Amino acid sequence: MSPNRPHLSAEARAQALQAARNLRAQTTDITAPAPVTPSPGFASLAGYKERETIRQIISALGIRYPFFRQLEMRGGAHSRIEGKDVLNFSSYDYLGLNADPRPAAAAKAAIDRYGVSASGARLVSGERPVHRALEAALARHYDVEDALCFVSGHATNISVIATLLGKDDLVLHDAHIHNSSFVGATLSGASRRSFAHNDMDALEQLLIDTAGQHRATLVNVEGHYSMDGDVPDLARLVALKRKYGFWLMVDEAHGLGCIGPTGKGVRELYGIAGSEVDIWMGTLSKALGSTGGYIAGSSVLIDILKHEAPGHVYSVALAPALAAAAETALSILEAEPERVQRLQALGRLFVDCAKAQGLDVSTSAGASIIPVMIGDSILAIAASNMLLEAGINVLPVTFPGVPMNEARLRFFISSLHDEDEIRHAVTTTATVLRELRETRPDLRLDTFLGPQP
């Protein structure tokens, strides 16, 4: 017997052989083919099925699908679709800065110096001076300590809420909050409750009902709601914050440059100090004519997000050209408040003309976002198509994006529109809706789908 081979007793050898047999049996079980349950086809997914049903209905009615229209030039107050010049109400260029040569020149200079891309995440690949310059300007705009930019507005809300909140926390949000905030709250693992739109009494009751049950509570609202164009009662929100001690987050994606006498947003409208709100969120893609998102607040908040928010730590930085363009646009906004005043005057004119024509503009504040409530989704789609034929580009918001009876045409106003264009758009919309309601009573989605909850 080799001196390097240990002697095994008969009992030990039997145990070793049995262990080997067991291992072979387990291996056989692991590698044996399991019954296959194929994943369903993508066409079985609920969202696709809903869209396909509506597409089939409108096709049968001879109505063209209105979405993903191709604009053949800049989407400002005017654009071109299928070779035809149109009066455009479908773009976020609220202050006309997407066409201003100054942000464009800043973007081109940044490309020449830094390239098209930042080529990495800021934490490990380094920063560019244009990033910090933009963030310093945003912090000054909100009168807070610091700010941080993200490559996407939608990803900003998702990443920030999911970073700050966890399973022991609570998110209370307005029922009309943006999808990005809703998704962020869901992914955070926090408990989540909604309150009726702009109903501060309902919010306070939730605060009373949940007092002491969670580590932290975040109240999330928009400064200018993207569907209805109205604003929250920020003064009441701040008073509730002082009383109940929650974190207050205000999404100013559509508020920056549109709300308040000089476009500083809902805080300017109410005369509230920037530090009274814990988290200011916004996007660079609306009034500033760029792309990306940002958070403004305390230096502690920004330090946390810089080092922990996945949308910043694990994402390529905002392209230098976009940062440079946004900083220049912000400086123009602050130097030329007449752009804001003109936008707001046109928004009020639209609301006044719409009401005179018997159109329902919901609760719009009469600034950059004005819905014309239609009710039925198919009717809204048909109206959008007829308006395009008349040279007016405005898109419908339809079921299931909104409840079946709350479809609308959503008009985005630009400071580059003029008064005659506003009056023409309103009059033409009223005429189209009257004609459709009189001649096409078949344009009702519930006729095909039945009553919906």
User: Is 286 annotated as catalytic?
Assistant: yes
277 token code pair: 């709100």
Tokens of 41: 């086809």
What is the rounded CA–CA span in Å between residue 253 and residue 24? 61
Q: Which of 141, 286, 312, 417 is catalytic?
A: 286
Which stretches of the chain score pLDDT less than 50?
1-6, 27, 453
Q: What is the pLDDT of residue 21?
A: 61
The confidence score (pLDDT) of residue 18 equals 65
Whether 54 and 445 have beta carbons less than 8 Å apart is answered as yes
DSSP state of 315: S
- 8 Å CB contact between 149 and 134: yes
* pLDDT at residue 443 in the model: 78
- How high is the pLDDT of residue 414? 97
Domains and CATH numbers, the chain: 66-94+337-449 (3.90.1150.10), 101-335 (3.40.640.10)
Q: Please report the pLDDT score of residue 50 as a whole number.
A: 84
DSSP string, 343-361: HHHHHHHHHHHHHHTT---
Res 4: pLDDT:
42
pTM: 0.89
What number of other Cβ atoms are within 10 A of residue 29's Cβ?
A: 9
What pLDDT, on a 0 to 100 scale, did the predictor assign at position 68?
A: 93
| Model pLDDT for residues 211-257, shown as the tens digit of each residue | 999 999 999 999 999 999 999 999 999 999 999 999 999 999 999 99
Q: Which structure tokens are listed for 237?
A: 């929100």
Q: Which amino acid is at 264?
A: K
Active-site residue, from 78, 176, 178, 254: 254
Q: How far is the C-alpha of 426 from the C-alpha of 150, rounded, in Å? A: 37
- What's the pLDDT at 1? 42
- Mark whether 226 is an active-site residue: yes
The predicted-structure confidence for 162-176, as pLDDT tens digits, reads as follows 999 999 999 999 999
Specify the residue for token string 């107050």. Answer: 77
Nearest residue to 73 via CA among 44, 93, 46, 103: 93
- For helices 299-308 and 153-164, the axis angle rounded to 10 degrees is 100
User: Could you tell me which residues are beta bridge partners of residue 192?
Assistant: 171
**Residue 197 is a catalytic residue:** no
What is the reported pLDDT for 33? 66
In the numeric block, which tokens belong to residue 278? 């814990």
* DSSP of 238-296: HHHHHHH--EEEEE-TTTTTTSSTTS--HHHHHT--GGGSSEEEEESSSTT-S--EEEE
pLDDT at 281: 98
Rounded to whole angstroms, how far apart are CA atoms 273 and 241?
Answer: 14
**Residues comprising the chain, all counted:** 453
Please report the pLDDT score of residue 452 as a whole number: 52
pLDDT of residue 356: 97
Of 226, 364, 377, 415, the active-site residue reads 226
Question: Residue 318 CB: number of other CB atoms within 10 A?
Answer: 28
Q: What pLDDT sits at residue 10? A: 63
Q: What is the pLDDT of residues 356-379, one digit of tens each?
A: 999 999 999 999 999 999 999 999
**Rounded to 5°, angle at Cα 157 from 156 and 163:** 90
Q: Of the candidates 412, 158, 422, which has an alpha carbon nearest to the alpha carbon of residue 287?
A: 412
pLDDT of residue 74: 87
Residues 67, 58: Cα–Cα separation, whole Å: 13
- Confidence at residue 26, expressed as pLDDT on a 0 to 100 scale: 53
Tell me the torsion sign for CA atoms 178, 180, 183, 185: negative
Structure confidence at residue 75 (pLDDT): 87
